[in-house]
A and B are shown apart, each in its own frame.
Chain A
Amino acid sequence: MYAKLWANIETNMLFYRRNRLLVAAALFIVLVMCLTSIPAIVFTSKSQHLDLIKVVLNMVTSFGTIVTVGLGLMLVSQHIRDRSVKMIFTKPCLPEVWLLGSFLSAGLVAAVLFAGGLLIASVLFMVWSIPFQSGVLFIVVNEYFQAMSLMAFATFLSVVFHPVMALFVLLVLREGMFYWLKVMLAGGIKALGESGLAVLLKVVKFFVDAVYMIWPTFAPYSEKMMKLGNSLRGADADWMYLGLAAMYSIVLTAAFYFLTGYVLKKKRYV
């Protein structure tokens, strides 16, 4: 099994390296980042250096998240759409092994990107003679796990829907949107009192509540990160929450892995 897993990971790495669309998108994002951050790095005063590190770190982790989710959207769906998956499933290689190869290779790429973010921040701390703030490590690890769970969700969506539709779901149908809908519906029901429309709204709210409950959240402890994001100080970091957040992301990633595997097994490849 390990030999097959490794064969899939190596092949996926070649896919990332040789996919022009992916490389072009990555280069474009790096270019935009450079254009916006390099002048700031060169021309800002010493008092603004820490703020700049925060900005750069935020940009790099956002870039890492976008790329990781992009890998999730592309990798599996691309092989289904160009039907190369037929050649894999007619070999003694279970869909679960192939999928694990995709997840692990995306995880490796994400790890390199987020480690790169950590490295850039560390270099800037060193260059500007600012003591290293361990909160940076906290943020990078937290963002990495969030990106991985988002990637797993994106992969699942891209197997169920067309990738464009999956992207739409990913961008629009978010936990916050359902919460906003809940609040709006609750307000509407209260305003309408006992009218017939209120009954309809109650039914709709019941479904929205259900979706809100099951819809995954990808930043479960975001409020805990606010202070840390501002200070980058290790003293503001609650490492236990990091452990819990990482655990939650791993569970979520595993859940979407099994769901995707189930869909892959049930799918018809014609």
Chain B
Amino acid sequence: MMVTADNVSVGFRKGLLRGTIRALDSFSLSVQQGDIFALLGPNGAGKSTAMYCFLGLVRPDQGSVSLFGKTPEPGHDLFRDIAYLPEEPHYHQYLTVEETVRFYARLHGVTGSLPVKKAIDRVGLGEFRDLRMAKCSKGMKQKVGIAQCLINDPKLVFLDEPTRGLDPIAVKEFRDVLVELNKKGATIVLNSHVLSEIEMICNRAAIMNKGRVVVQDEMARLRGTSLEAYQVECAPFEPLPEFLKVLVKTSTSVKGEIPAEKLDEFMRLMVLPGRKLIECTLKRATLEDSFFAVLKGGA
């Protein structure tokens, strides 16, 4: 296992006499080598805290966390093979784009200007290399973060809301970068609110709520936690079957959904004289459907 969390609990004091907030509660997770793993959950579910635990930035009150079989500590040597992209741009604001990437490269022990130049060019910031971080836009800062993730050929990458502030072209390029890193053998752990994006690139995911992992599985199986249905459109006829959930009804057509197991029955109705089927497509359960189903306790 590349990343494991075993029964981790983390609490934060609200104030001197105001008790504690449980950010993680008996949180357990495992990420295998080569995974592109997503942590999903509503705001306050504990995704970022979990990531901070993995990075050694937050010590668990209970339980244990390990990366490559070792306990992460701030500045530990195991970070040689790890890259981290924070949710918000926590960079030295007074440095330029190039100075920032070079500084992180030097902390990784990467010397020479070529790897820095390559990383900056890879994320399309070549012409902004002399711009101070304080003057960079949110998207540019995010790209600097991506550039510094590429500098050490990481084996494990943590990404906290990686596409935040990026334009659609940059999102696409970023996806390519991730796939490229994964092909090179990097394991990727990310959290994001953009479920469609996660669905596109991740092979495994965990859905979190209130500091716990509710479901952890492969993406294909996770999607399967919701029932599949068919979207149909046909010419109006009477009586409409009860299992047809009508979404739109006009004088020329009826649009609706039928459960997958009722497809045969629906087709038998459609071959009757005077019936006209316009469209019938499989509506796959999306990650979004599963996400809501799991959070509502439907999984």
Contact = CB atoms under 8 A, between A and B. Distances in A.
Contact of B84 (A83, A87, A264): A87
Nearest to B23: A270
Nearest to A96: B75
A86 B79 contact: no
Residue picked from B55, B90, B107, most chain A C-beta under 10 Å: B107
Interface in B104-158: 104, 106-109, 111, 148, 158
A6 to B, nearest CB: 8
Interface residues of B, number: 37
A89 interface: yes
A11 B95 contact: yes
Given A90-B57, A90-B82, A92-B79, A3 B106 contact: yes
Interface string A213-228: 0000000000000000
Residue picked from B57, B77, B86, most chain A C-beta under 10 Å: B57
B245 to A, nearest CB: 45
Residue picked from B59, B75, B106, most chain A C-beta under 10 Å: B75
Interface in A20-67: none
B79 A91 contact: yes
B249 interface: no
Interface in A78-118: 79, 82-95, 97-98
B158 to A, nearest CB: 8
B62 to A, nearest CB: 15
A7 B106 CA distance: 7
Contacts, number: 99
Interface residues of A, number: 31
A88 B107 contact: yes
B196 interface: no
Interface in B81-114: 82, 84, 86, 88, 90-95, 99, 103-104, 106-109, 111
A269 interface: yes
B57 A268 contact: yes
B52 interface: yes
B57 A15 contact: no
Interface in B152-188: 158
B86 A87 contact: yes
B285 interface: no
B74 interface: yes
A15 B104 CA distance: 15
Nearest to B105: A7
18 contacts: A3-B111, A4-B109, A11-B99, A15-B94, A83-B88, A84-B91, A86-B55, A86-B86, A88-B107, A89-B55, A89-B57, A90-B55, A91-B104, A92-B80, A93-B107, A265-B73, A270-B49, A270-B57
B95 A92 contact: no
Nearest to A12: B92
A266 B58 CA distance: 9
Given A3-B111, A95-B74, A270-B12, A89 B56 contact: yes
A93 B59 contact: no
